[in-house]
Amino acid sequence: MLKEGKKYIWKDYQKEIADNHYYYARSCIRQNFFPGSEATFLRILKNELNKDIFDDPEHTTCTGIGYHSDIIPLETTMTVVARHFALMTAAGYKNLVPSCITSFGIYSEILETWHEFPETLEKTREHLFKATGREFNLPENVVHTSDIIFKFRDEIAARGRFRLIDQSTGQPLRIVEHIGCHYARMFPHKGIGGAEYPYVLAGMVESWGGEVIDYPERRHCCGFGFRQYLVQANRGYSLSCSRKKFESMEPYKPDMIITNCPGCPYFLDRWQYVIAEQEGKTYGENGQGIPVFTYEEVAGLVLGYDPWDLGLQVHQINVEPLLDKMGIPYNPDEKYAGPDGQDLGQPAELTCMHNL
Amino acid sequence: MKNIVVIGGGIAGMEASAFLAAKGYSVDLIEKNDTLGGRLANWDRLFPTMRRGSEVTEFLAEGVMQEAVKVHLSADIVRVERHHDTFLLVTTQGNELHCDAILLATGYDLFDARRKEEYGYGIYDNVITSADLEQIFSSGRDILTQKGKKPSRVGFVHCVGSRDEKAGHTYCSKVCCVTGVKQAIEVKQQIPDAEIFNFYMDLRMYGMHFEALYKKAQEDFNVQFVRGRLSEAAENLDGSLALKVEDTLAGRPMKINVDLLVLLVGCTPSEGTRKMASLLGLKLGFNGFFKTTDQHTMTNYSDIPGVFFAGTCIGPNTITNAITDARAAATAIDIYLSGNQLANRKMKPHEEFWLYPSH
């Protein structure tokens, strides 16, 4: 594999990322799946990078899941998105930064639709005004939160206490990166590095000392695929998609998986448990799974944040093997303790995947 | 004696130069490389005969030499001035060439296969282009994978950069289909045990004997033709390539590993074409090749009196047709310079762009 060839492609997929003053759009599901990630993003931007970012409590779903599941009409999605833009306008911001890949895709798709079909923009303005009395400006810059971390990846590395390096061998950790479908597949030029050889996560991994693994099913869906999972009868298909990826990456012996989509870390994490339970098969070392992280969690680890503050205790796959490799200290007794020390409860013993 | 400058020393430029010189004109042939022959010099054997490309080059060179064409190698045009019905061209060496007509034979470039990102050319070790494979044939080297293994399974991907809106080229490159058949046979001849798969959209076997070559590939060489365009190639741990493709005849998705993947790259307008268009103020057609005066009747004519086209600078073509076109261009120039009324015929203008959705 020739990395120079990837660099040749990456240079064609660069995009403008605003330097400061962001209007933050949270994800519907990330706060439940990986509850520390969004808090960590805000912590990094405010405390480490001294950026102005507005976390608006009035912000709602973008309807992306409903839209991609064919239960929300496009006109409704446009009007909801228009409301977000109205909130951003009212708050005095011009740079929209969604936390969710699907939201990023929704915003990008609707802005493109309004550009190509200006009459739909006018209709949406009318719908929003009738429904709420609000008016809005279009954002000047729309990027995903992973783009922001990518932009400041070297600053994070410079401030970091840990690197993506196996302390026992001194070798870079071998890392699978997985971007969500809605990050660049719809609009390759809106994703850093494009859709075929995306660089947004690979760039972070490089800056933080790791080595990206390119494996045959790298481009394959994580298994979420919306209707693959949301329609209960299709869940076997969702599981088989994830399994295909695990089987493909296993020979490369990855130390971890890094993701930037709400669904991808969830399914790549949880389905490993299901496969272990159903087939007795695990894909990591010593009967463990391959730890799966969001990019904010990895940035937090690099910066030396407490793993339990990052919410890593809610992962299905134990993260301790990865923490040990990086030389990150942690207190096992505090893993399932809440912020005020209360016992959050421990998961039951798994039959096939070894608990620590 | 009237002077003609021919720009481009490939197939069309060489043959047109020889024919024009034979008609009694003084001909300067400008070639940017240090040898004549153009892209034919990089081609080993030719479809459908399997004759060496060098035989054709030698034939063309014989004409150039016999007719005492003045050849300027490693030369390029840097300036053009038009004075009524004559031209002044200045070369990179500072030579000033006065002429009564210019023949543009600036040929084509190969599609940059890296732009079909999903196939991994320039990234995966064992993805090569049809031009790379010709170089292997020409060198006499064995066909080997990057790790030196004899490939047991080879895939060919047709229409790479041709008939592809995403790649920006909606036209057919005309020569890749039959090149894929020819090269599949050659690989099979060198590695009889190898399995060969050609992935195609359509196989356009329009030329004389092309269909026979296609049939021979199937019947005598057991080349497998799969109608389906690759969605992606990915590299396996051992360096082999995992291909995902739909077999559209069977109506089923396929996943197949090959040791070597050959991309049949198409033709694109050449850099020389763009440069000369800029220097002369000539129009380019929708697809970036020179725009001819009329699609049916005046394909050798530009909109500037005294400036003519020959060969693949107006669109992809075979060697056979490039040679025929060169001779036609030579005749057109002769008619023009002799003042014959045939040169003054006009056609009602047609609009080329109506064929395309937007421009």
Domain boundary pick from B267, B292, B322: B267
What CATH number does residue B126 fall under? 3.50.50.60
Q: Are residues B346 and B285 in the same domain?
A: yes
Residue A157 has pLDDT above 60, yes or no: yes
Residue B107, token pair as written in the block: 């040929």
Q: Which of residues 19-58 of B touch A (CB under 8 A)?
A: none
Report the pLDDT value the prediction gives residue B83, as an integer from 0 to 100: 92
Say what the pLDDT of residue B354 is. Answer: 79
Distance CA B28, CA B91 (A): 11
**Interval A32-43: pLDDT, tens:** 889 899 999 999
Q: Does A12 reach chain B within 8 Å, measured CB to CB?
A: no
- The number of CA neighbours under 13 Å toward the Cβ of A293 is 31
CATH class of A20-145: mainly alpha
Which residue from A182, A246, A188, A219 is spatially nearest to B231, judged by alpha carbons?
Answer: A219
Q: Contact at 8 Å (CB) between A104 and A186? A: no
Residues B231 and B349 occupy one common structural domain: no
A125: contact with B, CB 8 A cutoff: no
**What pLDDT shows up at residue A230?**
87
Q: Is A186 on the interface with B (CB under 8 A)?
A: no
Strands B153-160 and B260-265: parallel
Number of domains in chain B: 2
Say yes or no: B261 and B274 in one domain: no
> Last residue of a domain, which of B250, B267, B284?
B267
Q: For residue B281, how many other CB atoms are within 10 A of its CB?
A: 11
| pLDDT confidence tier of residue B356, bands split at 50, 70 and 90 | confident
Q: Is the pLDDT of residue B113 over 70?
A: yes
B147 HSE (CA, 13 A, CB side): 10
Q: Are residues B86 and B122 in the same domain?
A: no
Highest mean pLDDT among A262-266, A276-280, B122-126, B168-172: B122-126
**Residues 6+ away with beta carbon under 8 Å from B182:** B45, B46, B47, B48, B50, B213
> Do B285 and B338 have their domain in common?
yes
Which residues 186-215 in chain B show a CB within 8 A of chain A? none
How many other C-beta atoms can be found within 10 angstroms of the C-beta atom of residue A142? Answer: 22
Nearest to B245 by CA among B359, B158, B355: B158
- Displacement of CA B6 from its chain's centroid (Å): 18
Contacts of B242 in chain A (CB under 8 A): 216
Alpha-carbon distance of A100 to B176, in angstroms, equals 44
Q: Parse chain A into domains and list their residue ranges.
A: 20-145, 161-334
* Domain co-membership, B239 together with B125: yes
Q: Is the preceding peptide bond at A188 cis, omega within 30 degrees of 0?
A: no
Q: How confident is the model at residue B358 (pLDDT cuts 50, 70, 90)?
A: low
- Is A217 part of the contact surface with chain B (CB cutoff 8 Å)? yes
pLDDT at A354: 66
Inter-chain residue contact A5 with B120, CB threshold 8 Å = yes
- The boundaries of the domain holding residue B351 are 3-107+270-355
Domain co-membership, B244 together with B120: yes
Summarised one tens digit per residue, pLDDT across range A127-138 is 999 999 999 999
Summarised one tens digit per residue, pLDDT across range B203-252 is: 999 999 999 999 999 999 999 999 999 999 999 999 999 999 999 999 99
pLDDT of residue A227: 84
Largest CA distance in chain A: 64
Nearest 5°: the CA angle A246, A252, A258 is 60
Interface test with A, best of B114, B115, B116, B117 (most A CBs within 10 A): B117
**Which tokens hold the place of B40?**
């034919």
**CB-based contact A29:A220 (threshold 8 Å):** no
Residues of B in contact with A215 (CB under 8 A): 234, 237
Same-domain pairing of B175 and B229: yes
Q: Are residues B261 and B288 in the same domain?
A: no
Q: Are residues B158 and B239 in the same domain?
A: yes
Instruction: Reduce the DSSP state of residue B25 to 3 states and report it.
Output: coil
pLDDT on residue A228:
85
Length of chain A: 356
**Out of A1, A6, A194, closest to residue B125 by CB:** A1
Report the residue of chain B nearest A214, measured CA to CA: B235
Contacts B114 to A, Cβ<8 Å: 5, 8-9
Dump the DSSP string for A2-64: -HHHHHHHHTT-------S-EEEE--SSHHHHSHHHHHHHHHIIIIIS---EEE-TT-----H
**Distance from C-alpha of B159 to C-alpha of B201, rounded to nearest angstrom:** 8
- pTM to 2 decimals? 0.94
With a cut of 70, say whether residue A351 has pLDDT above it.
no
pLDDT for residue B188 is more than 70: yes
Task: List B309's β-bridge partners, or say none.
Answer: B104
B193/B288 same-domain check: no
Q: Where are the beta strands (DSSP E) in B202-349?
A: 224-227, 230-235, 241-247, 252-258, 260-265, 267-269, 307-309
**pLDDT tens per residue across span B122-153:** 999 999 999 999 999 999 999 999 999 999 99
| CA distances to A198, B246, B247, B313 from B253, in Å | 25, 4, 6, 39
Task: Determine contact: A174 vs chain B, CB below 8 A.
Answer: no
For A161-334, give the CATH class.
alpha beta
- Torsion angle (degrees, nearest 10) of CA B351, B352, B353, B357: 120
Average pLDDT over residues B18-46: 96
Q: Give which of A52, A125, A57 is closest to A93, Cα–Cα.
A: A52
**B243, B267, B291 - which closes a domain:** B267
DSSP one-letter string for A77-88? HHHHHHHHHHHH
Structure-block tokens of residue A243: 């399994």
